[in-house]
Structure formats: C-alpha cells, structure tokens
Amino acid sequence: MLDIHLPDLRRGSTPILGACCLRLGAGEILGVIGPNGTGKSTLLSAIAGLGTARVAVLAGGKPLGRSEIGFLPQAYAVRSALSVLDCVILGRREALGLRIPAGLVVEAVALLEAMGLSALADRSMQDLSGGQQQRVLIAQRLFRRPRLLLLDEPTSALDLHHQLEVMAQLRLHAGAEAMPMIAALHDLTLAARLCDRIAVLSAGRFIRIGRPAEILTSPMLREHWQVEPEILSTALNLPVIVPHRLAAMAPGTPAG
C-alpha cells in the first residue's frame, strides 16, 4: 500500500494543481488522463520530487526517498553515444563502482531480451529512433526497480506492436515486484487496456477516479474533452473510444 499526499501546487501565484491524496495498491497501475495543460506532467514530476513542493510518498507509513521513485519524463531526444546496454545498466548507478558487477550485466541483457531490445544492445543511443529510445529508457527505469514508477506518456512514440509489448512488460514488472505505477496517458483506449484504475484530471483537480469502464463514458468525454465519442464495447470487455466529432458547445460557453 502506497499513499501520496500532495499539497497545493502553484507557479508564482497561479494555482496549477489542487491538494490531493492518492492511494495505490501493490502492483496497481493508475492511469492519469485529462485534456492538454491540466497538470498531468506537473503532477508526476512533483511526485518524483523534482518540483519545489513537499510531496509525501509513504509506503506502509514510511516515506520513500527520491531515489526510490522512478520517473520517466516525456519523450525527448537523447544525444549520447552511450550504448543501449550501458544506458540500461546506468539505471542502477548506485550499485556501480569502478567495476560493473558481472551479475548486473547479465540481468540487464536478460531484460533487453525480454523487451525485444537485445538486437540493439550495442547501438549508440543517439542512433536510435524516438520510439527505440523510449523503449530503452523504459527498460532503464524497470531495471532500476523503484518502489513507485511514474511514467509520462510512456507509449507516445511507439507503434502498435511495441505499445502492446511495453504494456505487457509494465504489467509483468508491476505484478512481479509489487511495484505500483502511475502513467499519464492521452490514448484513452490504451489507458483502459493498461490501467487498473483511471483518474481524470481537469484544470488541476481530480474529477473522478475508478475502473476504466466506469470512467470512460460519453458524458465524461463530452464535458472534459469536448468531443462526441463513440464508445464501443468489445469482446475483451474493454472500452474502445472512437472520437467522432467535436461536441456542440452549450449556449453561452465561450469557444476555445
């Protein structure tokens, strides 16, 4: 059980995120969804301890240190000649001395293998595509084995095949290491498939939190995303959201 207590977050005098408490079960994956600019990235970096706010992350009542919380920021271009394997090994930088323990290398190679990345092990990070870099950086965070993993748009650069592969790995590690995760996501269908619960963030406040099927409803999408969706129910019992057209504005609502 993991509890996160966030105070009010402000940038200057502008409030950007309201105070809130989140409770995550062991190995639970929580999706955070919401329109652009509602504070998803701010929330994650605050929990990661990178902001100025005092955020308490408690595991069984005991606070977690910054190095026990893993954080994958939004995808950015890595310009480094370090190899993929070196990059993953760096995930456990605290365990590295003048020599790299041999067991660590074996473990890192096994993880690359499991994530379908072993063919890239020798390649330079800067020579990889954006999607490949994103998968390597996810592997690095998984290799780190944090007590809580925060992922900001972990599948933004990935094709369908690798979206599924990464989701399967996240699910596997969340379960095997009882590691809760919080993922900010834009793709709602993907969020429904990956997450145990979904929290909706709108204008810096959590509106609702619950099972994907309870959350991803037409009224919710109409109100907060201003789209008229078609929500298909599939044989997998997962909602598939097809954005259909922009929602008609209620009279008196300012456009934009």
Partner 1 sequence: MTMTAPSAAIDRWRARAARRGAAALVAALILSGLSIADLMTGPSGMSPSEIWHTLLAGPAGEDRAAATILWQLRLPQLVMGLIVGASLGLAGMLMQTILANPLASPFTLGFSAAAGFGAAGAILGASFLVLPVPQWIVTPICAFAATLLATGIIWLVARYKGSGPEILVLAGIAVLFFFQSLQSLLQFMASPEVLQQIVFWLFGSLLKANWVSVQVSGAILVACLPFIARDLWALTALRLGEANAASLGLDVQALRRRSFLITALLTAGAVSFTGTIGFVGLIAPHLARSVVGEDHRLGLPVAALAGAVILIAASVVGKLLSQGAAIPVGIITAVAGIPMLMAVIARHKES
Applying CB under 8 A, which residues contact partner 1? 48, 50, 65-67, 70-73, 76, 78-83, 85-87, 90-91, 93-94, 96, 98, 105-106, 109-110, 112-113, 118, 121-122, 125-126, 137, 140-141, 144
Residue closer to partner 1 (CB basis): 27 or 116: 116
Residue closer to partner 1 (CB basis): 35 or 49: 49
Residue closer to partner 1 (CB basis): 69 or 241: 69
Min CB(118)–partner 1 separation in Å: 5
Residue closer to partner 1 (CB basis): 58 or 104: 104
40: its two tokens: 């998803």
Min CB(199)–partner 1 separation in Å: 21
Min CB(137)–partner 1 separation in Å: 7
**DSSP secondary structure string for all residues of 140-206:** HHHHH--SEEEEESTTTT--HHHHHHHHHHHHHHHHHTT--EEEE-S-HHHHHHH-SEEEEEETTEE
Min CB(200)–partner 1 separation in Å: 25
Cβ contact 204:217 at 8 Å: no
Residue type present at position 153: E
Beta strands in the chain, from DSSP E residues, in sequence order? 2-6, 9-11, 14-17, 20-24, 29-33, 56-59, 62-63, 69-72, 148-152, 181-184, 197-202, 205-210, 227-233, 239-246
Min CB(36)–partner 1 separation in Å: 20
Residue closer to partner 1 (CB basis): 71 or 206: 71
